[in-house]
Copies of this chain bind each other. A is one copy, B any other.
Amino acid sequence: MPLPFTVSAVDPGSRARRATLTTAHGRIETPAFMAVGTRATVTGLTPVDLTAMGAQVVLGNTYHLMLRPGPELFRRVGGIHNFMGWSGPVLTDSGGYQIFSLPGDRTLTEEGARFRAYTDQRIHLLSPERSIAMQTAIGSDIMMVLDVCVDSRSDATTTRAAMERTHRWALRSLAARVTDQALFAIVQGGVIPELRRESAAWLTAHPFDGFALGGLAVGDARPEREDVTNLSAELLPADRPRYLMGVGTPPDLLHAILAGIDMFDCVLPTHLAWQGTAFTSTGRVRLTRGPNALSDERLDAACECPTCRTASRAYLHHLFKCSEPLGARLLSVHNLHHYHALMADARRAIEAGTYASFASATLEAIDRHEHSDRRLGQVAS
Q: A residues touching B (Cβ–Cβ < 8 Å)?
A: 39-41, 43-48, 68-69, 72-73, 76-77, 82-85, 293-294, 296, 306, 310-312, 314-315, 317-319, 321-322, 324-326, 328-330
Contact = CB atoms under 8 A, between A and B. Distances in A.
Contacts of A48: 306
A82 B39 CA distance: 35
Contact of A39 (B47, B72, B76, B324): B324
Given A43-B325, A73-B314, A76-B314, 12 more contacts: A44-B326, A44-B329, A46-B326, A48-B306, A68-B322, A69-B293, A69-B318, A73-B318, A77-B312, A77-B314, A85-B310, A325-B328
A294 B74 CA distance: 9
Nearest to A46: B326
Given A294-B76, A296-B76, A325 B44 contact: yes
A69 B84 CA distance: 36
A293 B73 contact: yes
A306 B47 CA distance: 11
Contact of A312 (B45, B83, B294, B324): B83
Q: How many monomers of this protein are in the complex?
A: 2
A47 B312 contact: no
A143 B312 CA distance: 25
A77 B321 contact: no
B85 A39 contact: no
Contacts of A76: 294, 296, 314
Contacts of A296: 76-77, 82
A83 B324 CA distance: 15
A322 B73 contact: no
23 contacts: A39-B319, A39-B322, A40-B318, A41-B324, A43-B324, A43-B325, A43-B326, A44-B44, A44-B326, A44-B329, A46-B310, A47-B310, A68-B318, A68-B321, A69-B321, A73-B293, A73-B318, A76-B314, A83-B314, A84-B315, A85-B310, A325-B328, A329-B329
Contacts of A325: 43-44, 325, 328-329
Contacts of A77: 296, 312, 314
A315 B84 CA distance: 7
A310 B68 CA distance: 20
Contacts of A328: 325
A1 to B, nearest CB: 30
Nearest to A309: B85
A93 B69 CA distance: 42
A319 B83 contact: no
Contacts of A46: 306, 310, 326, 329-330
Contacts of A306: 46, 48
Q: Which 4 A-B pairs have the closest CB atoms?
A: A85-B310, A69-B318, A44-B325, A39-B322
A83 to B, nearest CB: 6
A45 B85 contact: no
B294 A72 contact: yes
Contacts of A45: 326
A39 B329 CA distance: 16
A306 B325 CA distance: 19
A69 B324 CA distance: 13
A14 to B, nearest CB: 39
